[in-house]
Every structure is written in C-alpha cells, then in structure tokens.
C-alpha cells in the first residue's frame, strides 16, 4: 500500500471521531467502511468530509429542525464555552461517545409488510404511570448552565409531551419545583455522598416530594478523566464568582459530586446538619440494599453494562436497571450500551425494568433498543441541545421529532404497539 493511501486512511479515521462528523450525523462505522473500500468509496469519504466541514446552517426557530442534530450548532452558539465543554465531554479521548453511536449501526432492521398500521400506539407504562412514548429524559446536571430556566423548562416540556423526566442530584432546580413544573412525579437520580446521613436526607426528600423511584448512579464512583471539558474551559475567559469559587467556570471538575460549591444545587445546598455517619470505603452492593431498606420508592441502578452486575442488582433489591455508560463520560470502555443490552436482558429475564441510554439520536435507535429488550430508552444531550437552542420550545421539539421518527419506523416495521417490537425485528450486521 502506498504511503499516500496510509496517510489518507489515518486522516479520514481521525476526522470520523471529530465533533464535525458527530454534529453532521455521520457515524464512524460508515466512514471506516469507505476508508477501507475502493477508490470510488474513498471519493465518497472525501465528499462526507466536505459535507461535515461546511459551516453549519443555524436554524432560527425550533420548528425548522429536520432532526435533533439541527439543534446542536444553535446550542453551541448560545452556550458559554466552559458549559458547552461540560455538556459534550466524554472521558480520555471521547472514544466511547463515538462507540455509543457506532453501536446502533451494528444492528439492522427486519421490517414486516402488509400490516394495518393506520393506528400506532407508542405509549408505555412504567411503575403504574402511562407515558406517551418510552423516551425518557435522562438526568443531566446543572441545566441552568445551558438556559436560564434549566430543569424547569425541561419539566414543562416533559409535561407537554407526557414524558418521564429523571432529575439529577446536581440539578439547578429543586425536586419540589421540578415536580410542580412537570405537573406530576419525576424520578430522582442519586449520587451518594461520603456521609450516609446526608445521602439519606437526599433519599427522604425525594420520597417526601412524591418521586416514585430513585436511580442510584454507580458508574462515576471512580471519577472521570474529562479532558474535553478541561480544554473547553480554557477558552472561557469569563469570571463567574456568583457560581464558581474563584470565579473561573469549573462545572463537574472531578466527574463526581464536587462539594466545594453547591450554591446553585438545591439538593445539596439545603442539607440539614445531622450526626455524621461517614462511609468507610466506597459503596458496594450492600449499598443498594441499604437504599431499598430506607425508602418506599422503587430503586433503580444506573450505569450497569454486564450480566453479572444486573444479576447482583436484582439480588440486592433493585426494581430496575439503566444500561448506561453516562453517555460516554464515565469510563472509556469503547463498548456501546446497545452492545451491552442483550446480555443484560438475558440475565434479567423479565424480573426488572430495563432502560437503555447512550448515543440515542434517532427513532431507529429507539426502536432497536426496544427490539433488543429495553422497556424504555433515554436521551440526554439531544434535549439539552433543544433547551440551549430555544428553551422549553426546543426541548419539546426534540421530543416531538424523536416520537415522530419512532412512530414512523414502527409503521414501516409493521409494529402497531411497543409490546410488538421484539427481537425478530432486528438482526446483527455481519
């Protein structure tokens, strides 16, 4: 092989992982196939480079969006650099973010024909509540960093479109205010604190507010090497003493709950002094049982990617599992969540609710997750793109687009309800 060919392939492979390609909706697997193909394929690869390198067109209203990717460049334009870095960062070289997207391309659809699809029902029931679709608004912290109304705007969007919202421990809105804006219960995502009495306060507050479920997140206990976030922060010259100690923006510095400055995080800023019960070591599986024994809420464990841990979660009292790698921002496993899903479904055997998140951007992604056994499918960054671009209207538009796409593929496949989306509608690509 000529040196030029080697250089060309390396160049294309590098570009495939860049934000330009992610924003353009071009997945790494597709470009890689072109890179290793014929001269005609390589020519197509260069056409993709040209397409992605063009200055993105900024839509001026939420109703102009054709897909969720149309919101990303507008949000980037509106959101300060350090806050944008917090949103887009993965860990190390961000390769697991790319892997999450590529994972969906490893599954193909097997649609059926001549089915009466004049009526399609995308609704789903979770813990006794019926939602319009299985699309979950995943917990994502500090949403007022992306829009002044933050989680309140998202809660109103969830209400308008009847979606499940999960509120983060490090939200910039209290769970009471989020539930009021949602007009119904939201689930509460839990980061444990080094003191059990403080963690118990978080649990009891969510329970008193009316949350039916607590989602214990376990994939950041070891921290996270968020290099993209640190690099973006260097480009932000603002002084933000009202929000950050010392004035320099530093959201999510450690990848864990950062106790240095919780002024804008109501769940953490309103903790009541209690007798200290410091933890010895980091949580183990007994911690799940401890949470379960502390509350009447259903307990979910978020961040599981193996059958072994799914089994342990159920053994220790979990009612549900979030198959998740924190959107590629926890650890750099290079394994997509949709690739992890089948082994977890096999291990669970219907004994718990399964949610899938990570890299979900299109209706076909949602359909594949459901076909592989998930009961619900979550999105994170896309609804924040909508929020950052146009506030509540943008978040609503993202949900509307994803629902429209999901219902379209349901009709195309001949599946008239969520329960009819089964493994026979997907096949692994070879």
Which residues are catalytically annotated? 326
Q: Which residues contact 378 (CB under 8 A, 6 or more apart)?
A: 135, 136, 137, 138, 166, 322, 324, 355, 356, 357, 360
DSSP string, 18-43: SHHHHHTT--HHHHHHHHTS-HHHHH
CB-CB contact of 136 with 366 (8 Å) = no
Query: In residues, how long is the chain?
Result: 430
Q: Which of 189, 129, 191 is nearest to 159 (CA)?
A: 129
- State how far the Cα of 66 lies from the Cα of 59, in Å rounded to an integer: 10
The number of CA neighbours under 13 Å toward the Cβ of 140 is 30
The C-alpha angle with vertex 156 and arms to 180 and 269, in degrees rounded to 5, equals: 55
- State how far the Cα of 24 lies from the Cα of 34, in Å rounded to an integer: 17
Element (H, E) at 213: strand 213-217
Q: Which residues contact 251 (CB under 8 A, 6 or more apart)?
A: 82, 83, 86, 141, 142, 145, 229, 244
CB-CB contact of 134 with 418 (8 Å) = yes
The C-alpha angle with vertex 149 and arms to 175 and 164, in degrees rounded to 5, equals: 50
Tokens in use for 282?
């980091």
Task: State how far the alpha carbon of 415 is from the alpha carbons of 60, 273, 357, 407, 419, in Å.
Answer: 35, 54, 22, 9, 8
Tokens in use for 42?
């390589």
The number of CA neighbours under 13 Å toward the Cβ of 289 is 7
CB-CB contact of 173 with 144 (8 Å) = yes
């Amino acid at each position: 092989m000529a040196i030029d060919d080697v250089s060309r392939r390396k160049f294309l492979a590098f570009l495939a992982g860049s934000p330009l390609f992610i924003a353009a909706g071009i997945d790494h697997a597709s470009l890689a196939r072109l890179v290793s193909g014929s001269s005609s394929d390589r020519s197509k690869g260069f056409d993709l480079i040209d397409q992605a390198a063009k200055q993105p067109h900024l839509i001026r209203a939420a109703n102009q969006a054709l897909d969720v990717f149309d919101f990303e460049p507008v949000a980037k334009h509106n959101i300060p650099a350090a806050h944008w870095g917090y949103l887009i960062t993965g860990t190390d070289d961000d390769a697991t973010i790319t892997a999450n997207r590529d994972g969906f391309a490893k599954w193909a659809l097997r649609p059926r024909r001549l089915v009466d699809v004049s009526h399609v029902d995308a609704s789903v029931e979770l813990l006794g509540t019926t939602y319009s679709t299985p699309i979950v608004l995943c917990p994502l912290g500090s949403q007022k960093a992306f829009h002044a109304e933050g989680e309140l705007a998202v809660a109103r969007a969830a209400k308008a479109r009847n979606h499940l919202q999960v509120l983060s421990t490090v939200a910039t809105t209290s769970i009471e205010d989020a539930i009021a804006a949602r007009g119904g219960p939201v689930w509460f995502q839990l980061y444990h604190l080094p003191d059990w009495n403080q963690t118990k306060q978080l649990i009891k507050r969510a329970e008193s507010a009316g949350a039916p479920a607590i989602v214990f997140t376990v994939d950041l206990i070891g921290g996270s090497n968020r290099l993209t976030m640190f690099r973006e922060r260097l480009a932000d010259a603002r002084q933000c003493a009202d929000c950050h100690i010392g004035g320099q923006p530093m959201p999510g510095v450690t990848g864990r709950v950062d106790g240095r400055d919780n002024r804008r995080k109501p769940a953490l800023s309103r903790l009541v002094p209690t007798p200290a019960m410091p933890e010895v070591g980091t949580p183990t599986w007994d911690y799940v049982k401890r949470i379960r024994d502390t509350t009447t809420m259903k307990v979910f464990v978020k961040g599981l990617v193996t059958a072994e841990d799914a089994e342990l979660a159920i053994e220790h009292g979990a009612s549900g599992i979030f198959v998740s790698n924190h959107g590629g921002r926890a650890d750099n496993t290079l394994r997509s969540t949709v690739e992890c899903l089948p082994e977890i479904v096999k291990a669970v055997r219907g004994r718990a609710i399964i949610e899938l998140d990570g890299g979900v951007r299109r209706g076909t992604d949602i359909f594949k997750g459901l076909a592989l056994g998930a009961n619900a499918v979550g999105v994170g960054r896309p609804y924040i793109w909508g929020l950052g671009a146009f506030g509540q209207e943008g978040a609503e538009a993202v949900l509307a687009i994803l629902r429209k796409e999901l219902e379209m593929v349901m009709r195309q496949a001949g599946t008239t309800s969520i329960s009819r989306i089964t493994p026979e509608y997907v096949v692994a690509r070879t």
